[in-house]
Amino acid sequence: MESPTQRSQQRNNMSPALNNLYGRLMWRRARLSAALKSNWVK
């Protein structure tokens, strides 16, 4: 059983490129869901 601090340490060890890609994916998904919601309102 690993402690939460160890888990966050592992996540920080990911390459910056991979981290950036993951961040862009999350940003795009947020934008997409927001666009879908605004379309539903119309």
Bin 36: left if φ > 0, else alpha if -120 < ψ < 50, else beta.
alpha
H-helix or E-strand containing 40? helix 16-41
Q: What is the pTM of this model?
A: 0.47
Q: Is 5 contained in some domain?
A: no
- 21 is written with which tokens? 């890609």
Q: Is 35 contained in some domain?
A: yes
Q: Is 4 contained in some domain?
A: no
Split into its structural domains, the chain has a count of 1
Q: Give the domain range for residue 16.
A: 10-41
Q: Is 19 contained in some domain?
A: yes
Q: Is 32 contained in some domain?
A: yes
Per-residue pLDDT reduced to its tens digit, 10-41? 666 668 888 899 999 999 999 999 999 988 77
DSSP tag of 32: H
Q: Would you state the pLDDT for residue 30? A: 96
Q: Is 3 contained in some domain?
A: no
